[in-house]
Structure 1
Amino acid sequence: MSFFKDDFYSTRVKRNSRSTPGSWPRTSRGSRQGSMFKVALISSMASSVLVAFLFYFAFDHPGSSPSKPASVAAQPIADTYDRIITAAAKVGPAVVSIINQTKDGQLQEQQGGPDASQSASLGSGVIFQKQGGKALVITNAHVVSDAANVQVVLETGEKKQAKILGKDTITDLAVLEVDDKGITTVAELGDSKKLRKGEKVIAIGNPLGFNDSLTDGIVSNLKQTVPVSLNQDGIYDWEEEVIQISAPINPGNSGGALANLDGQVVGINSMKVADTGVEGIGFAIPIDDAMPIVEQLLKNGKVLRPYLGVYSMDLDSYLDNHILSDDNGSDAGAGDGSGDDSGDVPPDESQDQPEPPLKVPDGVKQGVVVLEAVGPAKDAGLKFNDLIVQLDGHGIGSTLDLRKYLYNQKKIGESLTVTYYRDGKKGELTVKLVEKTEE
């Protein structure tokens, strides 16, 4: 006889039915198969419940072992793409193209020169403020370098004449002003300190003249130190702390927006590594570092920095030039020296003066050779061929060290103690730092 009563699983059998007297109860083949099916079904359901129960206590139950693997909520790829589209639509209209007609180009145009059209350079900028009928644009200083005429081109293609309110070569930032007619979008500035390594970012600009172009990548490094040559002479005389990104940056992208996926500007695209075979290494100025400079440019037209007044050359470069000059049978010249805040070589008249020999004491391997002292340095008593080795007791091994200490540690009006060697003898003097008023 079956394990279950037939009416347990079949509605075709009446509850009060009985077997025929004198005969054994009969179970049909279909009934036996149904019974076996029911057993299998119940067993399967019980197994499923047991497995779910075990998984609940092993992985999801609050009281389970703390050593269980943590679940990671992966952001859907489609959602990331949607955010890129939304962010680009938000910040894109605030990114403009910048046309810089240089002074040489303007002169060639006036003279009808054949290469006049080639003397205009292209860059990008970001509209960050509107007030009083004017719109303000932030860009790189090198984008408007040597400018005679600057135009801003909106996303709509409309061109506007721009005025340079201020620029700073050290930080490579500049601010332009245009009338705000037709400008409806101002970029929202974000917080670059909140960026995370690996975060997705987008770069919007005018690469190679292709307006309103967009590239994407990730934040590769939050604070990368990059040496730069301010006057492009091959000598590193400053260091920029920048955001390294993998988003492609090409000529014309400079000054454009680096934005997060919320459509907030977190950096100003500045430069890239252009060596052969190098890809995906671009740099942007953090917006948190840029805005204090922008405020000074708006207020003063420049960044006020302390001025020492020395044209200088690194000791090792000086000695190398001297050795080469001796080998060629001639005197050592001024070479490619750079000043504390100008990056220029000394005036030509200093070359006509006979050069006293530079005496370097034993054990002194680094320092800054004074090629010419002017302004406050001259007034304090510094002279040609003095070898500066310390400022306020801090070792100075290069012109870069000298400039960084001045700009980062000192203020206009403060006094600076200079330790130096003259004719091999150690000396010390005090210089009162002033504001540099000439370019």
Structure 2
Amino acid sequence: MGLFEDEFYSTKISRRASKTSRKQKMSGFPLRSRKDWGAGRLALLSGASGAAIVLVLALALGGGSPEAAVETAGTPAASGLVAPGDAIQQTVAASSKVRPAVVSVVNEQAAFLPQEQEGAEDGAEAPQDSADLQPASVGSGVIFAKKDGKAYLITNNHVIEGAAGLKVVLIDGETRPAKLVGGDYITDLAVLEIDGEGIETIAEMGDSAKLQSGEMVMAIGNPLGLGDSLSMGIVSKTKQIIPVSLSQDGNYDWEQEVIQTDASINQGNSGGPLIDMQGRVIGINSMKISDIGVEGVGFAIPVNNAMPIVDQLMKTGAVPRPYLGVYTLDLASYYAQQGLGGGVPDAEDGDAAAESPSSGGPKLPGEVTAGVIVLEAVGPASEAGLQFNDVITKLDDQSIGSTMELRKYLYGKKRIGDKIKVTFYRDGKPDAVTFKLQDKSEEEE
């Protein structure tokens, strides 16, 4: 990502020059020549060093559990467990297990036509056929199910956003047309359908709740359009909360829970799997931080969070959420824009273009410093009487200071059909209205 355009974020990170002293003080036991060491001491030291190496390898392969380390270290290879000397083979086996299920996703969009095609009526767009579509971007995906002769794969919603056509490239290079089953821009997940003939490998889903910091993982996908590619690292943090801009205007209006990893994730990796050392999918690669001085900070959507969304997309093609019907601008952003010539507003329920308030903006008492300005009210909000320049400060009894807080309360605490009380200010006076939340119709998308 940027959550969008492969979810790349630009962050401001303080730079501190770290200096490491090259001089180290020697303390403790006095140094002795090896000639002074007896054969018994050397043997004891060698044995202890060997045991320590075995223990470290066993810990790495046993998931960090001391019990698993003892069991692995004392168990012969014939038992079926991976011996320390087989660490490389474990990574090979894990990647081989899932790689055939990893695909490239090609987003095709209409090619630019400098002139209208002959025969097109004035003002009418010429019809587009497959020959007019050109690859606009490439991402990744992973096949997770096969049913009734069709194979289904997970990818990121931003990978397929704006596509006029979709194609999937299998690991052997075969290209197949793909159909969008459904997508959800809030969680940045989408499901595609392709012909399942000849597809035998279905990725096994793991349990992201069991991940541990320091656990080794691999990212598989199509970085930079290079095709089937692997990168390896560790889980830096099992649960990281990062702000995202759903409307891509630079204003954060949502938060995403992700797995942080230092496995290399680049443009094109989006939608591909993050797997553990047993070849199980534990995350969907989604974004990275891209900035000078920032390395090894990538993010994946936990598979435990992704699969309920995927299941809903398989059932209905969309994720139903309660619809309030307001396009908003954070009050703090409005105040900041007064000396900066305005800016692009946030949208609570969609991406409609709305003009920011003029210098004759909302009137508020001095104690009101946080809220969201209504730029446009539609659907249920309009029917309830909300208007341009109203400033929402509460939903039910929950204080609302930003569009992010509004969305989090609305999507996390309410359901379609629930009643909601909206407290707001109009012309400096407080008011409130209660109405039912609706589902968002296609006309309002």
| TM-score bracket relative to the smaller structure | 0.7 to 0.9
Cα offsets for 1:119-162 (capped at 9, x unmatched): 52111000000110000010000111111111111111111110
Match for residue 292 of structure 1 among 304, 308, 325: 308
> By how many angstroms is 1:185 displaced?
0.5
Match for residue 103 of structure 2 among 96, 109, 123: 96
Task: Give distance in 1, aligned partners of 2:338 and 2:378.
Answer: 24
List runs of 5+ in structure 2 lacking aligned partners.
Answer: 1-39, 45-65, 74-82, 118-127
Q: Does 1:340 align with 2:351?
A: no
Q: What is the percent sequence identity of the aligned residues?
A: 55
Q: What corresponds to 1:407 in structure 2?
A: 411
**Paired residues, what number?**
359
> By how many angstroms is 1:118 displaced?
7.2
8 Å contact 2:152–2:192 — kept in the other structure? yes
Distance 1:159 1:343, change over 3 A: same
Cα offsets for 1:154-212 (capped at 9, x unmatched): 11111111000101111000000001112110101111111111100111000011121
For residues 221-240 of structure 1, the aligned pairs below 5 Å read 221-240=237-256
8 Å contact 2:233–2:262 — kept in the other structure? yes
> By how many angstroms is 1:301 displaced?
1.0
The letter of the residue matching 1:137 is: L
Cα offsets for 1:6-65 (capped at 9, x unmatched): xxxxxxxxxxxxxxxxxxxxxxxxxxxxxxxxxxxxxxxxx99xx9xxxxxxxxxxxxxx
Task: Give distance in 2, aligned partners of 1:284 and 1:272.
Answer: 9
For residues 183-332 of structure 1, the aligned pairs below 5 Å read 183-325=199-341
Match for residue 362 of structure 1 among 363, 366, 372: 366
Larger RCO of the pair (alpha carbons < 8 Å, separation 6+)? 2
Task: Give distance in 2, aligned partners of 1:412 and 1:159.
Answer: 40
The letter of the residue matching 2:144 is: F
The letter of the residue matching 1:91 is: V
Q: What corresponds to 1:80 in structure 2?
A: 87
Match for residue 421 of structure 1 among 417, 422, 425: 425
8 Å contact 1:308–1:431 — kept in the other structure? no
8 Å contact 1:338–1:345 — kept in the other structure? no
The letter of the residue matching 1:414 is: D
In structure 2, the residue corresponding to 1:80 is in which secondary structure?
helix
Match for residue 401 of structure 2 among 397, 401, 417: 397
Cα offsets for 1:250-281 (capped at 9, x unmatched): 10100001000111111100000011221110
The letter of the residue matching 2:417 is: G
Task: Give distance in 2, aligned partners of 1:383 and 1:303.
Answer: 28
List runs of 5+ in structure 1 lacking aligned partners.
Answer: 1-46, 52-69, 326-332
In structure 1, the residue corresponding to 2:299 is in which secondary structure?
strand
8 Å contact 1:242–1:285 — kept in the other structure? yes
Task: Give distance in 2, aligned partners of 1:308 and 1:127.
Answer: 35
For residues 67-146 of structure 1, the aligned pairs below 5 Å read 73=70, 78-103=85-110, 105=111, 119-146=135-162
Q: What corresponds to 2:182 in structure 1?
A: 166
Q: What corresponds to 1:22 in structure 2?
A: none
8 Å contact 2:247–2:346 — kept in the other structure? no
Normalising by structure 1, we get a TM-score of: 0.76
Cα RMSD of the aligned pairs, angstroms, is: 2.8
Task: Give distance in 1, aligned partners of 2:179 and 2:115.
Answer: 20
8 Å contact 1:150–1:162 — kept in the other structure? yes
Q: What corresponds to 2:47 in structure 1?
A: none
Say which one has the larger Rg: 1
The letter of the residue matching 1:148 is: A
> By how many angstroms is 1:314 displaced?
0.4
8 Å contact 1:338–1:344 — kept in the other structure? no
Distance 1:234 1:306, change over 3 A: same
8 Å contact 2:264–2:296 — kept in the other structure? yes
> By how many angstroms is 1:398 displaced?
0.3
> By how many angstroms is 1:391 displaced?
0.6
Task: Give distance in 1, aligned partners of 2:320 and 2:87.
Answer: 43
In structure 1, the residue corresponding to 2:242 is in which secondary structure?
strand
8 Å contact 1:106–1:148 — kept in the other structure? no
The letter of the residue matching 1:270 is: S
Distance 1:384 1:257, change over 3 A: same
Normalising by structure 2, we get a TM-score of: 0.75
8 Å contact 2:326–2:347 — kept in the other structure? yes
> By how many angstroms is 1:110 displaced?
9.9
Distance 1:106 1:160, change over 3 A: farther
> By how many angstroms is 1:424 displaced?
1.1
In structure 2, the residue corresponding to 1:234 is in which secondary structure?
coil
Q: What corresponds to 1:154 in structure 2?
A: 170
8 Å contact 1:95–1:125 — kept in the other structure? yes
Q: What corresponds to 1:23 in structure 2?
A: none
Q: What corresponds to 2:9 in structure 1?
A: none
